[in-house]
C-alpha cells in the first residue's frame, strides 16, 4: 500500500502526502452532467406546461404532458431526449468513479439501464380518451414502466446509501420514505385520471416525488465530486 506521511502545510497544520487522488476531467464532467440533468428536468416541469393552455400542474400528472394528442407532447419528448443523454452520462460517471466500492458500482449501471428503459416509455392517452374507453395496450404498459422506474430509483438510492457516508445514508433513507409516501398519495388519485374525474393535488404529490429524486441526484453528484479516489497500491 502507498504510505502517507504528514507534511507541514502553509497554515502550520499537518497534511497527508501524497494527497488523495481526484477524479479525472472526464469523470468530473460526467458527474456534473448529473447536476445539469436534474436542473433540465426541473426546468421541463416549469416550461412545458406553458405550452398547454388549461393544464394544471397541481391537479394533473406529469405523464399527461407527453400523452398522445397532448399539445405539449412534442416539446416534452424533445427535451426528455436531452435529459436522457445527460442522465446516462451521469450514470457512466458514477460507474467510473466507483472504483472498488461495490455498492457504488451498482448505482451507475442501474441509472444507465433505467434510462435506456425510459427511452421506450409508452405514452398514455389523454383523460377524455381513457374515460370514453379508448385506452389501449400502451396505457397498460405506461403503468408498468412507471412502476419499474420507481423500483430502479429505489434500488439506486438504496445502493447509493450503502456506498457513502452515514449522513448521506440517512438522507437517502429519508428521501426514499418521502418517495414512497408521495407515490402512495399519487396512486390514491390515479383512478380519477382514467375516469376523467377531478384529481386535486395529484400533480403536487407527483412533483414532490420527482423533486426529492432530482435533489438526491444533485447531492449524489456533489458528494462524488468531493470524494477522493483510492490510490493503487505500489
Could you tell me the pTM of the whole model? 0.87
Q: What is the pLDDT of residue 226?
A: 87
pLDDT of residue 227: 77
pLDDT at 10: 40
Peptide bond into 186 cis (omega under 30): no
Environment class of 20 (CB within 10 Å of its CB; exposed 0-12, middle 13-18, buried 19+): exposed
Closest CA to 164 of 105, 87, 91, 93: 105
Return the pLDDT at 122.
96
Q: What is the mean pLDDT of residues 81-98?
A: 95
User: What's the pLDDT at 3?
Assistant: 44
pLDDT of residue 8: 40
User: Could you give the angle at which helices 137-163 and 202-225 cross, rounded to 10 degrees?
Assistant: 40
Q: What pLDDT sits at residue 35?
A: 98
- Could you tell me which residue, 47 or 13, shows the higher pLDDT? 47
Amino acid at each position: 500500500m502507498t504510505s502517507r506521511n504528514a507534511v507541514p502545510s502553509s497554515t502550520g497544520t499537518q497534511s497527508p502526502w501524497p494527497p488523495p487522488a481526484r477524479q479525472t476531467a472526464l469523470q468530473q464532467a460526467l458527474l456534473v452532467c448529473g447536476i445539469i440533468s436534474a436542473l433540465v428536468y426541473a426546468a421541463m416541469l416549469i416550461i412545458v406546461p406553458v405550452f398547454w393552455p388549461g393544464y394544471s400542474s397541481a391537479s394533473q400528472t406529469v405523464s399527461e404532458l407527453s400523452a398522445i394528442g397532448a399539445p405539449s407532447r412534442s416539446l416534452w419528448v424533445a427535451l426528455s431526449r436531452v435529459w436522457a443523454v445527460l442522465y446516462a452520462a451521469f450514470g457512466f460517471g458514477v460507474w467510473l468513479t466507483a472504483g472498488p466500492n461495490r455498492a457504488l458500482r451498482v448505482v451507475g449501471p442501474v441509472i444507465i439501464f433505467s434510462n435506456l428503459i425510459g427511452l421506450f416509455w409508452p405514452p398514455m392517452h389523454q383523460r377524455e380518451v381513457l374515460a370514453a374507453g379508448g385506452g389501449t395496450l400502451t396505457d397498460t404498459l405506461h403503468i408498468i414502466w412507471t412502476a419499474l422506474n420507481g423500483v430502479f430509483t429505489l434500488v439506486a438510492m438504496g445502493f447509493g446509501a450503502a456506498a457513502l457516508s452515514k449522513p448521506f445514508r440517512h438522507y437517502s433513507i429519508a428521501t426514499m420514505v418521502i418517495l414512497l409516501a408521495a407515490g402512495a398519495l399519487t396512486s390514491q388519485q390515479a383512478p380519477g385520471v382514467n375516469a376523467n374525474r377531478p384529481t386535486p393535488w395529484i400533480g403536487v404529490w407527483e412533483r414532490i416525488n420527482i423533486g426529492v429524486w432530482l435533489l438526491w441526484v444533485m447531492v449524489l453528484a456533489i458528494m462524488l465530486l468531493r470524494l477522493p479516489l483510492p490510490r493503487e497500491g505500489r
